[in-house]
Amino acid sequence: MMNAKSLLDSFLGQARGAASQANAPGGLVDPAAAGGLPAAAGGLMDRARGALGGIDRGSFAGGAAAGGILGMVLGGKRLRKMGGGVLSHGGAAVLGALAHRAWQNWQQGQAPATAPVVTPSATPADAAALPPAFQPGATPAADGQPFELALIRAMVGAAKADGHVDAAERNRIVERVEAMGLDAEARAFVFDALEQDIPVSAIAAAAGTPEQAAELYLAARMAMDPDQPAERAWLGALAHRLKLDPGLAAHLDRQADAAPASAG
């Protein structure tokens, strides 16, 4: 069975020391022993190999660890610009800490423009003190699947809506993901997310609680640079589908906007 937490951490760039996780269920394994992929994923793999034959797999393994799959999807500069550095250092717990801080600030009636933000030095303490509602793995998504998978879909959907992931980029990402040592089920999940359209309605449908709705919005916001009207409209549609209070959405935006500066 796929280890959703391990996959989310790999996605965000937390999969350091892959060898130590080689025997973890659904975690990182020897690619040669991972077994076959579903037909659709295998076809995508074949196309990637055809387009990128001769690539040194070892060089990709090192690059994949810096920023994780999210870093590949967004690119290094975009990753830093949109606060991905904070996510790659802190993993899934940082998403929960950022969403929780936004939630607290909103409930306290603070102005978004001047509300406190989560900083790297504060993140470990914030993450350790998170209530279960803001711990990504504590409660399943509305469909009963691990909520970590919903967060990944939200980030991939936002990145694709942002127009960054074209066919050539998908092929490069596929080759890098294969070299990371994820098991067959985890690889297939990532490839499906890259290949399929992920509409706003599908992202929002995963929210089973208001806190999960806040985390899904924040995850998407961290993977999108809303500097164009179409991107802002996409985020607005997501907030509407998630039934987010406009004030809460503004506080979530505040945390996302502050993350790049916090990352230094």
Domain boundaries, the chain: 4-263
Spatial CA neighbour of 92 closest among 76, 70, 73: 70
**Which pLDDT score, from 0 to 100, does residue 171 have?**
79
Q: Could you give phi then psi for residue 55, rounded to 5 degrees?
A: -70, 140
In this prediction the pTM is 0.75
Written as one letter, the residue type at 116 is P
Could you tell me the two tokens for 184?
Answer: 């067959």
Our measurement of the distance from residue 85's CA atom to the centroid of its chain's CA atoms, rounded to an integer in Å, reads 12
What's the pLDDT tens digit per position in 32-90?
A: 333 333 333 343 334 333 332 332 333 223 333 345 777 777 765 455 455 555 565 56
**Which pLDDT score, from 0 to 100, does residue 128 have?**
62
**Which pLDDT score, from 0 to 100, does residue 24 have?**
38
pLDDT at 200 over 50: yes
| Separation of alpha carbons 114 and 28, rounded Å | 42
Our measurement of the distance from residue 259's CA atom to the centroid of its chain's CA atoms, rounded to an integer in Å, reads 15
| Separation of alpha carbons 78 and 164, rounded Å | 10
> Measured over all CA atoms, what is the biggest interatomic distance in the chain, rounded to whole angstroms?
57
Please list the alpha-helical segments (H only) found in 75-209: 76-81, 84-90, 92-107, 123-128, 147-161, 167-179, 184-195, 200-205
What's the pLDDT tens digit per position in 219-228?
A: 999 888 788 8
Cα torsion for 122, 124, 129, 133, to the nearest 10°? 100
Could you tell me the two tokens for 232?
Answer: 């802002």
